[in-house]
């Protein structure tokens, strides 16, 4: 079974900047390569209604591909992010609806996740990270994402949900998916507080701890806009973002960049 992986598509911004229909290029790639499953690990675009519409169109145009999705932080930008989360559950392939079995031996388990500042640098309090401002820069989630509880409360809620599923399916081979980063190894540090302060918003070590506890075989995530295909503590780790044009792209055209960024794995 072939599984294609991509995150951080940021359809709206990249479409405007490249003057190219990103979703058409994705459809063309999938029609050509015909994966069995396509996993989008968050940040399809900004705001839930737009993300839901794009997901439904993509699945409708590609009925032979099972499209699976977890929300990214941009997907739930809304005055009420819990409402946004519920809106995105209208897409059948949203892993927030529950595990998806692939054949007899494998299961995909996940959700977008959130962050609890466990990757934050020393010298700053939870209150400082909760404020999310360093110098004249404020982390965008603090402006556009509005959970009813704190960041840590939301992380706890998602940890509880995912662990319940992991426990129920622990006898199968598990492919785990979040948008946020699960292991500190993949958090980029630059010894520059203007950058490193915001690593607090990259994810939570608790997702990685769950993956280890339940002996997850493969882990897919996004959010950081750096590409990895690695093996870490017995887990195959894949982070495959499209990222922002032009600063994070290697190629000049959207077609070339999409072709280079999609990762295909087999189970």
Which pLDDT score is estimated for 25?
A: 97
Those residues with Cβ within 8 angstroms of residue 171's Cβ, 6 or more apart along the chain or in another chain: none
Block mean pLDDT (10 aa), the chain, length 267: 98 97 97 97 98 98 98 98 98 98 97 98 95 96 97 98 98 98 97 96 98 98 96 97 97 94 96
In which residue are the tokens 């701890």 written?
209
Burial class (CB in 10 A: 0-12, 13-18, 19+), 160: exposed
Q: What is the pLDDT of residues 90-149, one digit of tens each?
A: 999 999 999 999 999 999 999 999 999 999 999 999 999 999 999 999 999 999 999 999
Neighbours of 135 (CB within 10 A): 8
CA dist 7 and 29 (Å) reads 15
The upper half-sphere exposure of residue 13, i.e. CA atoms within 13 Å in the direction of its Cβ, equals 17
Regarding beta strands 37-41 and 66-70, do their DSSP bridges make them parallel or antiparallel, or are they unpaired?
parallel
DSSP-derived 3-state class of residue 52:
helix
CA dist 241 and 228 (Å) reads 9
CA dist 141 and 143 (Å) reads 5
For residue 99, CA distances in Å to 29, 117, 176 come to: 26, 27, 10
pTM above 0.75, yes or no: yes
CA dist 191 and 8 (Å) reads 25
- Map out the domains of the chain with their CATH numbers: 2-266 (3.60.21.10)
Q: Are 179 and 220 in contact (CB under 8 A)?
A: no
CA dist 208 and 198 (Å) reads 19
Which pLDDT score is estimated for 49?
A: 98
Regarding beta strands 100-102 and 106-110, do their DSSP bridges make them parallel or antiparallel, or are they unpaired?
antiparallel
* Tokens linked to 235: 């887990």
Which pLDDT score is estimated for 101?
A: 98
Neighbours of 31 (CB within 10 A): 12
């Amino acid at each position: 079974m072939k599984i294609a992986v991509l995150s951080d598509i940021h359809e709206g911004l990249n479409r405007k900047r490249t003057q190219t229909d990103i979703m058409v290029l994705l459809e063309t790639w999938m029609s050509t390569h015909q994966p069995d499953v396509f996993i989008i690990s968050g940040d399809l675009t900004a705001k839930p209604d737009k993300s839901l519409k794009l997901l439904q169109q993509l699945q409708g145009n590609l009925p032979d591909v099972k499209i699976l999705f977890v929300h990214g932080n941009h997907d739930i930008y809304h005055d009420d992010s819990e409402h946004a989360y519920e809106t995105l559950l209208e897409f059948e392939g949203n892993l927030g609806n529950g595990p998806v079995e692939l054949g007899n031996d494998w299961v995909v388990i996940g959700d977008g996740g959130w962050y609890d500042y466990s990757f934050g640098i020393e010298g700053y309090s939870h209150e400082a990270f909760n404020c999310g401002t360093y110098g004249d820069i404020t982390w965008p989630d603090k402006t556009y994402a509005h959970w009813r509880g704190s960041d840590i409360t939301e992380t706890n809620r998602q940890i509880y949900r995912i662990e319940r599923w992991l426990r129920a399916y622990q006898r199968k081979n598990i492919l785990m998916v979040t948008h946020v980063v699960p292991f500190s190894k993949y958090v980029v540090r630059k010894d520059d507080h203007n950058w490193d302060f915001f690593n607090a918003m990259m994810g939570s070590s608790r997702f990685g701890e769950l993956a280890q506890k339940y002996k997850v075989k493969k882990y897919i995530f996004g959010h950081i806009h750096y590409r990895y295909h690695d093996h870490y503590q017995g887990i195959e780790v894949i982070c495959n973002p499209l990222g922002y044009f032009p600063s994070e792209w290697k190629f000049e055209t959207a077609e070339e960049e999409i072709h280079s960024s999609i990762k295909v794995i087999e189970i």
